[in-house]
């Protein structure tokens, strides 16, 4: 595990000014990370991005973090002898931050059960489909192949299964007759950049309550 641009000890679960502590996990270009970070920096989200953790060396999300002076931790999946060893290192890095909220922003691995249980009700993910339809990879391709007329994105809390956690917010987009996977993905991504920051904002203002499978917005 390698750390770059690290901060000092993280002891409290809430920052001094009362803002929620947000840790972001990302594997790729980090456009949703940037959308959330922009709202944090303007003060619209009452939270602080205290760290970006990535499993991929050289991904563009790391550059976004450095540009905004967000501390970075690299837990390079390929530097570990096994998935179990990687998961233990990732869990250690996450616990070290004492986050109020963990945001998966294009994090391309399924979190292990120990991690999900350690942060129950505190991990969010966004998926480019209207769950429970089209879980897993290539959701936009699945939607076009199935012939649906409406697609979209879903922000949900993470549970121990893939894309099955309680739904927080959903946004719809039309599927146009001439859409391909790329054009539909771009239209959905535009809504992701609006939907995900809103879900984080609601969490940071204590407006979300999980009741079984239902997320109440208070």
At 195, which CATH number? 3.40.50.170
Same structural domain for residues 2 and 103?
yes
In a domain, 199, yes or no: yes
Task: Give the pLDDT score at 149.
Answer: 98
Clarify whether residues 149 and 90 are in a common domain: no
- The helix (H) or strand (E) run that includes residue 49 is strand 47-54
Determine the Cα–Cα distance for residues 188 and 127; give it in Å rounded to an integer: 10
Q: Exactly one of 78, 127, 138, 190 is catalytic; which is it?
A: 127
pLDDT computed for residue 4 by the predictor: 44
Residues of the chain with pLDDT under 70: 1-16
pTM for the structure as a whole: 0.92
Examine the fold and report which residue of 61, 90, 119 is the final residue of a domain before the chain moves on: 119
Residue 55 and residue 103 in one domain: yes
* Counted domains in the chain: 2
Which residues have a Cβ under 8 Å from the Cβ of 21 and sit 6 or more positions away? 10, 13, 14, 15, 47, 48, 50, 97, 98, 99, 100, 101
Please provide the DSSP assignment of 6-39 as one string: --S----SB-TTSPEEEEEEESS--HHHHHHHHH
Q: What is the pLDDT of residue 18?
A: 85
Check whether residue 101 and residue 131 sit in a common domain.
Answer: no
Of 54, 87, 119, the one marking the end of a domain is 119
According to the model, what pLDDT value does residue 17 have? Answer: 77
Residues 166, 212 within the same domain:
yes
Are residue 68 and residue 171 in the same domain, yes or no? Answer: no
Domain boundary (119, 139, 172) is at: 119
3-state helix, strand, coil in the chain (%, to 5): 35, 25, 40
Cis peptide before 132 (omega within 30 of 0): yes
Interatomic CA distance for residues 150 and 71, integer angstroms: 39
- Is residue 207 annotated as a catalytic residue, yes or no? no
- Tell me whether residue 158 is in a domain: yes
Residues 115 and 142 in one domain: no
Residue 11 lies in a domain: no
Cβ neighbourhood burial of 132 (10 Å; 0-12, 13-18, 19+): exposed
- From 53, 46, 38, 57, select the one nearest 15 (Cα to Cα): 46
Same domain, 159 and 194: yes
Q: Is 169 left (phi over 0), alpha (psi -120 to 50) or beta?
A: beta
| 99/1 same-domain check | yes
What are 48's two structure tokens?
Answer: 């602080």
CB 201 within 8 A of CB 46: yes
**152 & 96 share domain:** no
Give the pLDDT confidence score for residue 152 in this predicted structure: 98
Q: Which helix (H) or strand (E) holds 192?
A: helix 181-204
In a domain, 133, yes or no: yes
Range of the domain at 207: 126-218
């Amino acid at each position: 595990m390698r750390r770059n641009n690290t901060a000092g000890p993280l002891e409290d679960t809430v920052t001094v000014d009362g803002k929620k502590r947000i840790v972001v996990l990302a594997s790729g270009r980090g456009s949703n990370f940037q959308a959330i970070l922009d709202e944090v920096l303007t003060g619209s989200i009452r939270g602080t991005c205290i760290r970006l953790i990535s499993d991929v060396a050289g991904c563009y999300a790391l550059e976004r973090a450095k540009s905004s002076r967000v501390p970075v931790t690299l837990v390079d999946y390929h530097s570990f002898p096994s998935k179990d060893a990687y998961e233990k290192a990732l869990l250690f890095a996450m616990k070290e931050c004492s986050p109020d909220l963990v945001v998966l922003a294009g994090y391309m691995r399924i979190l292990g059960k120990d991690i999900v249980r350690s942060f129950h009700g505190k991990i969010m993910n966004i998926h480019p489909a209207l769950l429970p339809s089209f879980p897993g990879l290539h959701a936009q391709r699945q939607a076009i192949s199935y012939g649906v007329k409406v697609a979209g994105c879903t922000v949900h809390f993470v549970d121990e299964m893939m894309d099955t956690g309680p739904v927080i917010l959903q946004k719809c987009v039309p599927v146009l007759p001439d859409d391909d996977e790329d054009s539909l993905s771009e239209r959905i991504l535009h809504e992701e950049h609006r939907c995900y920051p809103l879900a984080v904002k609601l969490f940071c203002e204590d407006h979300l309550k999980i009741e079984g499978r239902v997320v109440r917005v208070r």
